Amino acid sequence: MKDVEITDVTADSRTAGKGSLYIAIRGGSTDGELHIADAAARGAVAAVSERTPEAPPIQIIETENARELGCRITAAWYGGDETGRPHKTKLIAVTGTNGKTTVSYMLASMMKAAGYSVGIVGTVGAHMDGVDYDEGECASMTTPSADVFYRILWDMIRRGADYIVFEASSHGIAQHRLSGLPLLGCVLKAAIFTNLSPEHLDYHASMEEYFGVKARLFSDFAPEKKIINATGEYGARLLAMYPDAAAVDARGDGDAAFPSSIAERGFDGVDFIYNSPSGSFPVRVGAPGLYSVEDAILALTCAIEIGVDRDSAVAALGDFHGVRGRMERVGGSGDAQPTVIIDFAHTPAALEGLLRSVRDIAERRRITVVFGCGGDRDKTKRPVMGKIAAEGADFVIVTSDNRRTERAADIIADIIAGIPRGCEYAVIPNRTEAIEFAIWNADDGDIVILAGKGHESYDDADGVKRPYDERKIAADAQRLRRIMRGARR
């Protein structure tokens, strides 16, 4: 093998250029090995692959696992400064089924209030100090592919980030996207475990496997600080594995931090007392919902563990009003029209928590939920979510949501199979029509929940992601409702 000069590393043949090293990954929908010739035509000089094609157009580095080696190469490419010293930037990883995004943004807001420069990489994108990273995959993957992930981390490091908070998905861990972290030259200051409930069981063979992958964040990467929500079964098991971790437990068991004297302020937030072995103090969170309390305690515990000034952290939580697509109100609110809420809830636990939180706020107001389930994903959760929606809302509208290659009718049939007899529901496959129907037929003061899309700005069907602006659709429906109701008077 002759020496070649590498100028870039990429796992997407379409972005290869002169001097690129192409990582040929075998994915679920395509095989990167089939695109080696395309990468070469665009200027790539070598490729990492699990198989050497006949008459390869460029040098091939053959390996048993292209994902893992490609990740390590990419991380090493960006790791350390010119002198070989570690970067000053510290990393914080957040893993779990639900709550990763909110916990990440809460924690980042606290650290920023204390004077730190903070980058975030996760489900709703990558951002730092007013810079938004438009890297494509950031809009659809919780943990981006290795070449995108480390490129973003490197740029944040170059810009002087003190901390980078990133979401560690089970796919990202299982597919070795994080395996290059030790080579990056940054300390993994902390890892946070939020919770675990059924999700991605189309990818993981069982909940036990799913849990094992999540636990690898703590075993394989040796974070300096570990913060674990021990409220559920899997959190309690993880805490037993790492008894020195800082624990959060809503039940107030053991030495864990826990909330008390919870007082909701409607959609304006919630107050509670933070209790821990080191003391108790009042906290106000600007984001609504009981699950905001659990997320806030996790984020606040992490902030305290890594040395963020407590008063600054608490003040930041009071100014934190949520994340795009998480319990987000659209348009106006109040008694003169329905309140519309957009939320990313797309798992049984998330939908149940959302409906419970809204019910606590709504009291006797009528709640309509509009939701669907994604195609080519875990089918077992569909009837479960149908049951949860029917029991948590007054009226359910079952619709489409990223059906991908499945028929919408088949997904909807799976969902309604779980709706108990006697519960009110309607089937409107066209999501836009479902949203309009829900808003136009709601009474003043009712609540309409649009669940599943959250921050997403597309709909995925037949292999094409088409632009889809749920906020605009909801706002337009509210505006037309006001006009029509005004005309009747």
Domain boundaries of the chain, sorted by first residue: 8-64, 77-318, 328-488
Q: Which one, of 434, 442, 437, 432, lies nearest residue 472 by Cα?
A: 432
What is the pLDDT at residue 249?
Answer: 92
Q: Which fold has domain 77-318?
A: UDP-N-acetylmuramoyl-L-alanine:D-glutamate ligase (3.40.1190)
Structure tokens at 256: 């864990």
Q: Is the pTM of this model over 0.75?
A: yes
- At residue 261, what is the residue type? S
Q: CATH classification of 328-488 is 3.90.190.20, yes or no?
A: yes
77-318 matches 8-64 in CATH topology: no
Residue 412 to residue 235: CA distance in whole angstroms? 33
- Distance, first Cα to last Cα, the chain: 82
C-alpha distances in angstroms, 24 versus 18, 40, 44, 53, 464?
17, 12, 12, 11, 23
Residue 194 to residue 196: CA distance in whole angstroms? 7
Residue 455 to residue 105: CA distance in whole angstroms? 14
Coil, strand or helix at 133: strand
What is the pLDDT at residue 449?
Answer: 97
What is the pLDDT at residue 145?
Answer: 79
What is the pLDDT at residue 356?
Answer: 92
Residue 47 to residue 59: CA distance in whole angstroms? 6
Transcribe 152-166 into DSSP letters. HHHHHHHTT-SEEEE
Strands 125-128 and 118-122: antiparallel
**CA angle, 152 as apex, 147 and 157 as ends, to 5°?**
125
| Cβ atoms of residues 373 and 381 within 8 Å | yes
Give me the residues of the chain with pLDDT under 70, please: 1, 28-29, 80-86, 135-143, 332-335, 487-489
Q: Which fold has domain 8-64?
A: 3.40.1390
Residues 106-117 as b or e (16 or more Cβ within 10 Å = b): bbbbbbbbbebb
What is the pLDDT at residue 290?
Answer: 86
Reading phi first (left if > 0) and then psi (alpha if -120 to 50, else beta), residue 68 is in alpha
Three state DSSP letters for 54-99: CCCCCEEEECCCHHHHHHHHHHHHHCCCCCCCCCCCEEEEEECCCC
